[in-house]
Amino acid sequence: MSQPEITIRAARPEEYLLLSEFGRRTFEVYFSAPNTPENMSAYLAEAFNPDRQAAELADPAGVYLLAEIEGELAGYAHLHLGPPVLESCELAASALHANLPDSPAIEIVRIYADPPWIGRGVGPALMQACLDTARSRECDLVWLGVWEHNPRAQAFYHKWGFEKIGAHTFMLGDDPQTDWIMARQMA
């Protein structure tokens, strides 16, 4: 099967409802099975409520990239300029501060593809756009958090040059979970 033509563009402020619904739906599809309904519901209500999406879209340190196929949303990435939160990382402080003490950094907060498009080029197109954004913003480091029980995502990030540099706690409702901090330097 041939790869579809994927268009990447910046999200517009008025698309906050679209992002709220899409983010909620994709997060729930990927992460509901291993988590309790109560914790999932609490997290979805906090992370993907329309007001929060509108505020994130309005944040000048944030970037939302949409992947579209034939005009339909197939995935998105949310980036945020700023360094990793080192105090909550077990390895990051020494790994990052030794090499990049005050270097500009950007976080990939979320990168999701709609399930029907997994394996069809949406993830790579979004990741390339994330790295291009990091270059255009003159960032020396791109970093992200990935759930320790998500080997598929870890392998995807590793393929793109990300290495585990630490871990931190991610709260899903009232359930503390471990996210790996993965990073790559921009060459």
Q: What is the pLDDT of residues 87-99, one digit of tens each?
A: 444 444 445 544 4
Domain-wise residue ranges, the chain: 7-185
How far, in Å, CA of 175 to CA of 168, rounded? 13
Q: What is the pLDDT of residue 2?
A: 66
Within 14-164, residue ranges assigned H as helices are 16-31, 37-47, 50-58, 92-99, 122-136, 151-159
Nearest to 141 by CA among 94, 89, 182: 182
Residue 45, Cβ neighbours under 10 Å: how many?
A: 12
Q: What is the pLDDT of residue 110?
A: 96
Q: At 61, give phi and psi (nearest 5°).
A: -85, -5
**Which amino acid makes up residue 47?**
A
What is the value of pTM for the model shown? 0.89
Nearest to 17 by CA among 66, 51, 67: 51
Residue 95, Cβ neighbours under 10 Å: how many?
A: 18
Asked if the model's pLDDT at residue 103 lies above 80, the reply is no
Check: CB of residue 19 under 8 Å from CB of residue 53.
yes
**What would the mean pLDDT of 135-157 be, rounded to a whole number?**
95
**What would the mean pLDDT of 53-81 be, rounded to a whole number?**
96
Average pLDDT, rounded, for the chain: 89
Check: CB of residue 74 under 8 Å from CB of residue 18.
no
Check: CB of residue 144 under 8 Å from CB of residue 162.
yes
Q: What is the pLDDT of residue 84?
A: 63
Tokens 């593809």, located at residue: 113
Confidence of residue 187 (pLDDT cuts 50, 70, 90): confident
Q: Helix and strand tally (H, E) in the chain?
A: 6, 7
How would you classify the pairing of strands 105-113 and 141-147? Answer: parallel
Q: What is the pLDDT of residue 172?
A: 92
10-33 pLDDT per residue, tens: 999 999 999 999 999 999 999 999
Q: What percent of the chain has pLDDT over 90?
A: 80
Fold of 7-185: Aminopeptidase (3.40.630)
Query: Which residues, in sequence order, are CB contacts of 125 under 8 Å at separation 6+?
Result: 6, 8, 67
Tokens 């983010």, located at residue: 23
Confidence of residue 166 (pLDDT cuts 50, 70, 90): confident
